[in-house]
A and B are shown apart, each in its own frame.
Chain A
Amino acid sequence: MVWNNIDGKENDIVISSRVRLARNIQDKVMPTLMDKEQADEIKNMVFNSITKSNSAISHQFKIIDMDSSPPLEKQVLVEKHLISPDLAKSRIGSVILQENEEISIMVNEEDHIRMQCILPGFQLNQVWSMADKVDDLIEENISFSFDERLGYLTACPTNVGTGLRASVMLHLPCIVLTGQINSLMEAITKVGLTIRGLYGEGSEFVGDLFQISNQITLGFSEEEIISKLHSVAKETIKRERQIRKYLQDYNPLNIEDKIYRSYGTLKYARSITSEECMKLLSYVRLGIDLGYIEDINIKVINHLMIHTQAGMLQKRYNKKMNEKERDQVRSQYIRESLNN
């Protein structure tokens, strides 16, 4: 997982930046209409276009077929945001995955090809340029469905044109704490972007994590789409920072207490649900940024936000667990991580 390895810019607030490109192969029917044999043909075309190229990254990929992968493996890929839940359910889908998990290429999901690049922190231009290069690489051997007027043709008309979905994942605890998240969501929707909260196992937003992305894919160039998302994200970051400073300086909500209580619970609890875990991690993450907590690196918290999910835990301890067992093991894993 890349979120916690490298330092991304603005990584106190921006967790990760992501770009996804949807592409289809000329005159081949869409995955919904395919049998296994047709799907395999597409898969091999895409895989060969990468592995047989002269690119420096050509040898870094492996292929994982959904129909032959154990459910737990697939759940882990979903939790790491490397594949979509829809691909995990597919019988004909596959993912072509880079070793370092920065590039993942879903094959035969809704479109023939959905390539995704993800980097930690605020690196939208970098992820776009990565995706652009992967796109060029595949295109050397494959003719994409392209129309002069409509651009890249996709299974769903909502993605035609650039086929680009760019997004940033932001940690906004103080905008949430001060009750401003709904007006932020409204404002972002008004400028033509979408924002959605990260849902836990229930239906509540968890961890104060929000993803902002573009909705429109046609009529603007890739650079224009990226730059608009960039500036809206920047404004949001600025706002979150202002409120953080205000809450720290005037302490109207006793934020310091919230942070230390959260830290204490995480360090000593013996059972913890995924929702409570995300909520507490969110406050500790904030506490690190505000300087209350000095002995924990923010990367450890980012790591825990991913690795305390149900599938990841079961994989780590290599056994199937019910909810109660998971809650215990989760607290154990957190204690170990925070005490190291």
Chain B
Amino acid sequence: MKCENCNVREAVVHITKIVNGEKQAFNLCEPCANKLEGLLEDDHLFDFHKFFSGLLDSGGFSFPSSQPQRTYDLVCPLCKIRYSTFKQTGKVGCNQCYETFGKQLNPLIRRIHGSDKHTGKIPHNVDSKIKIKRDLEELNKRLKKAIENEEYELAAKIRDELKAKNQEL
């Protein structure tokens, strides 16, 4: 589903709002939703009208004068689960969720594991660039160590290896 505001990016944010006792839902992309959220925070109802001018013209919304009730919820485009569902169950619905809910999940993952960098096994059929990058990191570490230990002959050898690896990229 495309964002209802810009019609360009994929809609991943789902905002519901009670308008005159009726539930209204907006499906937006992240940047548009952030803009809308900012407007709502500041309670700029006038700008809010303008922001949705396109929708207003066609849909004829009317906004109550009181502060609108709202929930802010991300929806995964692949499995369609909401971030609020993840918060309840602690389980994602698919691999895409890690990207969709990245902003929320990454701090959580760092808290759980004390790290957010995988250093273990890599699938054999995965993009070989990942493997080369991993090798480069390893070589750089060894190079630094060799220099610290003043093992210059070794350092020169590692540098050659680095050069060769870099060309594989």
A222 engages B121 (CB within 8 Å): yes
B116 interface neighbour in A136, A149, A162, A217, Cβ under 8 Å: A149
Size category of the A interface is 35 or more
Residue of B nearest to A145 (CB): B95
- Considering the chains assembled together, what is the distance between the CA atoms of A139 and B121 in angstroms? 12
- Whether A144 sits at the interface, judged by CB under 8 Å, is yes
B121 engages A157 (CB within 8 Å): no
Find residues 102-123 in chain B having any chain A CB closer than 8 Å to their own CB: 105, 108-109, 112-123
Measured between beta carbons, the chain A residues less than 8 angstroms from B114 are 216, 219
A110 engages B91 (CB within 8 Å): yes
A30 engages B94 (CB within 8 Å): yes
Measured between beta carbons, the chain A residues less than 8 angstroms from B164 are none
A-B contact count (CB 8 A): 109
- Whether B130 sits at the interface, judged by CB under 8 Å, is yes
B124 interface neighbour in A136, A147, A164, Cβ under 8 Å: A136
Measured between beta carbons, the chain A residues less than 8 angstroms from B130 are 148
- Whether A156 sits at the interface, judged by CB under 8 Å, is yes
A147 engages B98 (CB within 8 Å): yes
A156 engages B91 (CB within 8 Å): yes
- Considering the chains assembled together, what is the distance between the CA atoms of A164 and B120 in angstroms? 10
- Considering the chains assembled together, what is the distance between the CA atoms of A153 and B91 in angstroms? 11
Interface of B: prevailing SS:
loop
- Considering the chains assembled together, what is the distance between the CA atoms of A30 and B108 in angstroms? 20
- Whether A29 sits at the interface, judged by CB under 8 Å, is yes
B93 engages A30 (CB within 8 Å): yes
Size category of the B interface is 20 to 34
Residue of B nearest to A23 (CB): B123
Residue of A nearest to B111 (CB): A157
The contact string, 1 if C-beta is below 8 Å from chain B, for chain A 134-155, is: 0110010001111111111101
Since A139-B124, A153-B98 are in contact, a sample of 17 more A-B pairs with Cβ atoms closer than 8 Å, ordered by chain A residue number, is: A27-B95, A29-B93, A33-B79, A144-B123, A146-B126, A149-B118, A151-B121, A152-B121, A153-B92, A156-B90, A161-B113, A161-B118, A218-B113, A218-B118, A219-B116, A219-B118, A220-B120
Q: Interface on A for B, CB 8 Å cutoff?
A: 24, 26-30, 32-33, 110, 132, 135-136, 139, 143-153, 155-158, 160-162, 164, 216-222
- Could you show 15 A-B contacts with beta carbons less than 8 Å apart? A32-B91, A110-B91, A132-B121, A145-B95, A147-B95, A148-B130, A151-B118, A153-B95, A153-B98, A157-B112, A216-B113, A217-B113, A218-B109, A218-B117, A219-B113
